[in-house]
Amino acid sequence: MTSLAPGADRVAPLPAVLAALDLLRIESVGAVLHIRLNRPAKRNAINDALVAQLHTAFVNLPEAVRAVVLSGEGEHFCAGLDLSELSERSAAEGMAHSRSWHAAFDQVQRGRVPVVAVLHGAVVGGGLELASACHVRVAESSAYYALPEGQRGLFVGGGGSARIPRLIGVARMTDMMLTGRVYDAKEGLAVGLSQYLVDVGGGMEKALWLAQRIAANAPLSNFAVMHALPRIADMGQDEGLFTESLMAAIAQGDEGAKSRMRDFLEGKAGKVTKG
């Protein structure tokens, strides 16, 4: 694998608001912020406090951060909803709980910078919902995916019904929820749950390398990919093409784009090469 760009491994001090988040382990590596779910004893199950801390982390990304890597401490990425917190909730409380997940995961998907997830071990229930809010997913060969909500008498509540079918289709998600089907890492790659598959232990290096590449892009291009692309994909073709032309015009007019095009024409920028 290509090594990181110079300065990419520089570890910067964290702002106090991020350093105070005890259920996350956060490290700033150059322009990349590495956020780890940090409840390994509970398989990184997501309780109310962890949802709130994810929200806080993603709305307080330091200005210098250009990409995030999200991973899980221990043997698993995330065991989903913390089932020990599932007390008797009224319908209104249940709705508010689900909406708190939506608010946090929306900051992951539609925040300021792209997020690369490293998936290993269990990526289940709310853990898969969180993974599906990320922009690039790197799976290690230990990863497996399931939606046990059906077996637990629940429904997805962390945005899964909106995001997961956009990755794998309604039919596959229906099957996972009705039958408890588990996809292994290879199957997950084939159906689109991850974009990359690497050996056990190789996920962080690959994700950091990808995040470093993402961080080197013009910020407005990354913004267009994160914010315009998924919205255009949800539009009718006519509206989509019109919106695309607006976004393209704004992106190409940016100084970042102009200097990059000049660099290429003057032979100073890299060519596109085969893998």
Residues engaged in binding ligand 1HE (CB under 6 A): 42-43, 45, 75-76, 79-84, 101, 122, 124-126, 148-149, 152, 154, 156-158
Give the residue with the Cβ less far from ligand 1HE, 43 or 120. Answer: 43
Give the residue with the Cβ less far from ligand 1HE, 138 or 143. Answer: 143
CB of 66 vs ligand 1HE, minimal distance in Å: 29
Out of 75, 140, 149, 239, the active site residue is: 149
The residue type found at 153 is G
Residues written for the chain: 275
**Rounded (5°) CA angle 154-233-52:** 40
**Rounded (5°) CA angle 269-111-172:** 95
Q: What distance in Å separates the CA atoms of residue 129 and residue 78, rounded to the nearest whole number? A: 10
CB of 98 vs ligand 1HE, minimal distance in Å: 6
The residue type found at 199 is D
CB of 233 vs ligand 1HE, minimal distance in Å: 24
Q: Does the annotation count 75 as an active-site position? A: no
CB of 83 vs ligand 1HE, minimal distance in Å: 4
Is the separation of the CB atoms in 169 and 177 below 8 Å?
no
Give the residue with the Cβ less far from ligand 1HE, 9 or 85. Answer: 85
Out of 75, 85, 129, 255, the active site residue is: 129
Phi, psi of 43 (to 5 degrees): 55, 35
Nearest residue to ligand 1HE, by Cβ distance, number only: 125
Q: In the structure encoding, which two tokens stand for residue 73, read together?
A: 């401490």
Q: Does the annotation count 255 as an active-site position? A: no
Give the residue with the Cβ less far from ligand 1HE, 134 or 214. Answer: 134
Give the residue with the Cβ less far from ligand 1HE, 84 or 90. Answer: 84
Phi, psi of 64 (to 5 degrees): -75, -10
CB of 49 vs ligand 1HE, minimal distance in Å: 13
The residue whose two tokens read 């910067």 is 12
Is the separation of the CB atoms in 44 and 37 below 8 Å?
yes
Any idea which residues carry the catalytic annotation?
129, 149
